[in-house]
Chain A
Amino acid sequence: MRMLATGSAIRGLPVVTIGGGEDVAEVRDVIYDPQAGRVLGLTLNKRGFLAGRSREVLPAEQIHAIGQDAVMVQDEGSLILPHDAPADVGEPPSGRDVTGDEVLTEQGTSLGKVRDVVVLLGSNGEVVGYEIDAASGGTGYIPLPTQLAVSGSTLIVPEATKDFVEKDLVGLGAAVDDFRSRLGPS
């Protein structure tokens, strides 16, 4: 059973140092790479009354774990200025936003439109699925294979994804391993 969270649930989480027990920042947004299917890093807000955008970013390699209640880092040195970060994190290329993209199966069934990414908690940013506005109505959650084709506006997923449209994150957490094992090694 895997614990999952949407990108919007991660926004606003405190970034806390393991060694110091200090909240050094707050998550502003996730930097997502749809090709890689993972979070590359997080942009940050400052903590406190004068909270505003922080210049620093948190690359995924510096994240110890994204949890339900906090993002854990080793120490304050984990937050770095954009020009010290990997290019993808320091200056994320535009056109990576998958929100609103149509999800099509390989055989041409539309499952709906992407609303948010679903991140594996306890990881440093592994994306295991998407939250979608389901074509059948309401909110749905679909698992992602480890590799997938994306264009600017459409995402092609394996046909089997049809059988794994879940109603909630608990269902998706249970379905991810099952789905990936059905697809075989990628």
Chain B
Amino acid sequence: MSDSFTAVSGRKVVSQKSAEELGDVAHIVIDVKRRKVASLIVGKGRKALVLDWDQVSGLGPDAVMVADESALHAPRDDHENAAADGKLELIGKRALNDVGNDLGELSDVRFDPKTGIIESLVLGEREEAAASLLGAGSYAAIFQTSAQ
């Protein structure tokens, strides 16, 4: 069963220990090289916290479970700050191929909720294999030309 970024976005994050809601998933950050989910950003603005993928105890259909609130931490470097600000948000990001032609906007990313491994990226009507993703940053996501 695969899950998707648009579906996970807004899902509540709950502590298994206290049963408290710690916030909602605002953004999902990926590791492009490993083509895997790297972290979830929980909450928005100054209160945004980073939940690293290896701290997720369970990603269920209704909630993201963590052991306790210590699983979340404040952004620690430029990359995490940019992620917390939503600058690395993939959904809605411009997609370009590696020869500089526009491919439209990224509308969703499908991934395995057990492993965090990205399966495919949705560009409007088309779906591209994760392997064709070359890079992603604040400006665009870059795809291999053969993906066209």
Tally of contacts, chain A with chain B, CB under 8 A? 69
* Of the residues B98, B137, B138, B141, contact of A72 by C-beta under 8 Å: B98
Q: How would residues 67 to 85 of chain A score, 1 for a CB under 8 Å from any chain B CB and 0 otherwise?
A: 1111110000000000000
| B96 and A72 within 8 A (CB) | yes
Measured between beta carbons, the chain A residues less than 8 angstroms from B135 are 17-21
Q: Is A65 close to B, CB under 8 A? A: yes
For residue B96, which residues in chain A have a CB less than 8 angstroms away from its CB? 16, 67, 69-70, 72
* Residue on B nearest A65 in the bound complex, by CB: B99
Q: Which residue of B lies closest to A14 (CB)?
A: B139
Among B99, B134, B136, contact of A121 (Cβ-Cβ < 8 Å):
B99
Q: Which residues of B contact A70 (CB under 8 A)?
A: 96, 100-102, 140
- Known A-B contacts A18-B134, A19-B134; the reply to A64 vs B139 at CB < 8 A is no
Q: What residues of chain B lie closer than 8 Å to A71, measured between beta carbons? A: 100
Q: B97 interface residue, CB < 8 Å from A?
A: yes
- Mark each residue of chain B from 84 to 120: 1 if its CB lies under 8 Å from any CB of chain A, else 0: 0000000000001111111000000000000000000
B142 touches A (CB below 8 Å): yes
CA–CA, A178 to B24, complex, Å? Answer: 60
For the complex formed, measure the closest distance between the CB of B27 and the CB atoms of chain A, giving whole angstroms: 15
Q: List chain B residues, Cβ under 8 A from A66.
A: 100
- A residues less than 8 Å from B101 (CB atoms): 67-70, 121
Binding site for B on A (CB under 8 A): 13-14, 16-23, 64-72, 121-122
In the complex, 29 of the A-B residue pairs with CB atoms within 8 angstroms, ordered by the A residue number, are A16-B100, A16-B139, A17-B137, A19-B134, A21-B32, A21-B135, A21-B137, A21-B138, A21-B140, A21-B141, A22-B139, A23-B139, A65-B100, A66-B100, A67-B97, A68-B100, A68-B102, A69-B101, A69-B102, A70-B96, A70-B100, A72-B96, A72-B98, A72-B100, A72-B142, A121-B100, A121-B101, A122-B99, A122-B100
